[in-house]
C-alpha cells in the first residue's frame, strides 16, 4: 500500500466517524494552498496534532508535492513564482 493510499484510508475513516482534519474545512482549507507564505504558516501551525499528520507528510513526499502545506511543512512556492520570505532568508544567510 502506498502512503497516498494510507492517507486516503485514514481520511475515509475520519469521515466515517464524523470527523475531518482542519485542512478539509470548507471555510479555512484555502490556507493550505494560499499564495502568501504567512497564510500557509497558519496552516502549518494548525497541522499540529492532526490525526493524519504523518501520513500526510509521507504521501506528500511520495507524490513530490512542491507547493502548499503538507504534513505540517510549508513546501515553498508555486512552481515558477518567487517566495519573498524564502528569498529574504537566503539573503540574510548569505550576509552572515
Residue 78: which residues within 8 A CB-CB, separation 6 or more? 35, 67
CA dihedral 18, 68, 29, 60 (to 10 degrees): -10
pLDDT at position 96 is 44
**Please, which pLDDT band fits residue 82 given cuts at 50, 70 and 90?**
low
**Quick one: cell of 83?**
517566495
**Of residues 89 and 42, more confidently modeled:** 42
Residue 69 β-bridge partners? 74
- The DSSP H or E segment spanning 4 is helix 3-16
pLDDT at position 79 is 53
**Please, which pLDDT band fits residue 80 given cuts at 50, 70 and 90?**
low
Give the Cα separation of 56 and 68 in Å (integer).
12
Residue 48: which residues within 8 A CB-CB, separation 6 or more? 72
pLDDT at position 76 is 76
Q: What is the pTM of this model?
A: 0.76
Amino acid at each position: 500500500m502506498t502512503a497516498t493510499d494510507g492517507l486516503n484510508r485514514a481520511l475515509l475513516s475520519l469521515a466515517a466517524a464524523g470527523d475531518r482534519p482542519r485542512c478539509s474545512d470548507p471555510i479555512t482549507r484555502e490556507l493550505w494552498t494560499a499564495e502568501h507564505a504567512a497564510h500557509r504558516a497558519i496552516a502549518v501551525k494548525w497541522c499540529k496534532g492532526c490525526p493524519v499528520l504523518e501520513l500526510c507528510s509521507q504521501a506528500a513526499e511520495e507524490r513530490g508535492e512542491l507547493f502548499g502545506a503538507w504534513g505540517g511543512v510549508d513546501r515553498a512556492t508555486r512552481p515558477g513564482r518567487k517566495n519573498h520570505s524564502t528569498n529574504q532568508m537566503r539573503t540574510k544567510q548569505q550576509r552572515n
